[in-house]
Amino acid sequence: MSDATTSQGVLVQRGNGEETETFSTISEVLSFSSPDGGANEIDVTSLDSTAKEFNIGLFDGGSMSFDCIFVAGDTAQDGIIADKNAGTESNFKIIIPDTGTTTLSFGAFVTNVSVSGSVDDVVKASVTLRVNGAVTWS
């Protein structure tokens, strides 16, 4: 039997920004990608070097995206649209139901929300978040 964790049961959540923050699960998420950030390499090679040498630059949290079925009136989905329209940052979590319940926590701006639909399908939303600061894995 495989030790692989299935995607079923993964939660994407948005915080409410209150002092004692609570998180709402975003309804009907179909797929997600975690923040894709990284750090730049700083070339510190000098004439004294015998091979290329590097330092690591500041970490950039990158972006994450998810697709969901659009649910009018969903608290978390409405909050995402409000964040996009106002340019405000919110806190987000991705909770993976593995044996240790891995959680990714980060602040982000909503940079894109688009809805789409087609014949014999439901209306779907695609959301892109720009991470602001560090991503915490716990």
> Would the pLDDT of 85 be above 90?
yes
At residue 99, the pLDDT reads: 85
At residue 70, the pLDDT reads: 97
Provide the residue range defining the domain that includes 78: 11-36+55-137
* Residue 122 is assigned to a structural domain of this protein: yes
Q: Per-residue confidence at 100, pLDDT binned at 50, 70, 90? A: confident
Q: How many domains does the chain have?
A: 1
* Residue 2 is assigned to a structural domain of this protein: no
* Residue 48 is assigned to a structural domain of this protein: no
Q: What's 91's domain CATH number? A: 4.10.410.40
Query: Which spans in 8-94 are helix H?
Result: 75-86
Average pLDDT over residues 16-32: 95
CA 80/CA 43 separation, integer angstroms: 39
Give kind and range of the element (H or E) at residue 56: strand 54-60
- Could you tell me if 25 and 16 are in contact, meaning their C-beta atoms sit under 8 angstroms apart? no
* Residue 6 is assigned to a structural domain of this protein: no
> Would the pLDDT of 1 be above 70?
no
Nearest to 93 by CA among 28, 22, 36: 22
Q: Which residue has the higher pLDDT, 99 or 20?
A: 20
Average pLDDT over residues 37-48: 96
* Residue 47 is assigned to a structural domain of this protein: no
* Residue 127 is assigned to a structural domain of this protein: yes
* Residue 3 is assigned to a structural domain of this protein: no
Dump pLDDT digits (tens) for 120-130: 999 999 999 99
* Residue 4 is assigned to a structural domain of this protein: no
CA dihedral 83, 35, 101, 9 (to 10 degrees): 70
